[in-house]
Amino acid sequence: MTGIHAENDGKTASLSRPRLAGYDDDPLMPTRALIFDFDGLILDTEVPQFTSWGEVFAEHGLALPESTWADIIGRPNNSFNFLAHLEQLAGREIERDTVRARRRARCDALIAAQPLLPGVEQYLNDARHLGLRLAVASSSPRSWVAGHLERFGLLPLFASVTCFEDTTAHKPDPAPYRAALAALGVAPHEAVAFEDAPHGIAAARAAGIFTVAVPNPITRGLDLSQAHLRIDSLAAMPLADLLARADRCPECGTPVATQT
């Protein structure tokens, strides 16, 4: 469990927000909320998923190209049938239940060994100190997202967790982000979204939100240029500095900065 603590017992903060160093003369931050993707952004589940599926394909003498995986990152789990694809490539039927169970056990073991991604804990702590509301917008099932957040002691920090079951349309559609905005009670220009992959970036931008790309090892080589800002990890830029950039963004329709 992490050392993150909910300091206002889940109540909406009505604190005077601190000044940001170097942020003109305005003592208040226009940003009121942060919305995070989950997979590959808070916890690196992407590498374990890709690794475990790659091992299954390798056992059948086949390769799972990163390009195939890249196309489904950020989409719901049911957007691609790996076992059907495997059977098609192998030209034969496989014992789906056996392969599925073994692959899931391997993936779970890999994920269990993963820490929170760099900077996540600090960002969540800093956001709470600044009185910002927090949400998750994910294409994964609630049991998956909430289960992992609870395992790390993070679930109470989020005012809203929007998952696959909560919207009829999913990333790259903006529906998950619009649902998160509604749950938080903030306008698009009052939020910042954090995403690791193109489909999520497209969803956040279509919702009118300032979008930060934070790639993981699987998505680092993908085209993330539609984000307003790109950072190598959440540890690469203090939250106060990032908010200063977001609050200076003239509009949410044009990428404005890259930080590497």
Q: Which residues are catalytic?
A: 37, 39
d(CA 214, CA 217): 10
Peptide bond into 215 cis (omega under 30): no
d(CA 226, CA 209): 12
Q: Write phi, then psi, for 101 (nearest 5 degrees).
A: -65, -40
Q: At what angle do helices 82-90 and 46-59 cross, to 10 degrees?
A: 30
Residue 34: name the closest of 203, 167, 204 by CA: 204
d(CA 242, CA 236): 10
Q: Which helix (H) or strand (E) holds 146?
A: helix 142-151
Q: Is the CB of residue 217 less than 8 Å from the CB of residue 47? A: yes
DSSP category for residue 12: P
Q: Is the CB of residue 225 less than 8 Å from the CB of residue 195? A: no
Beta bridge partners of 39: 43
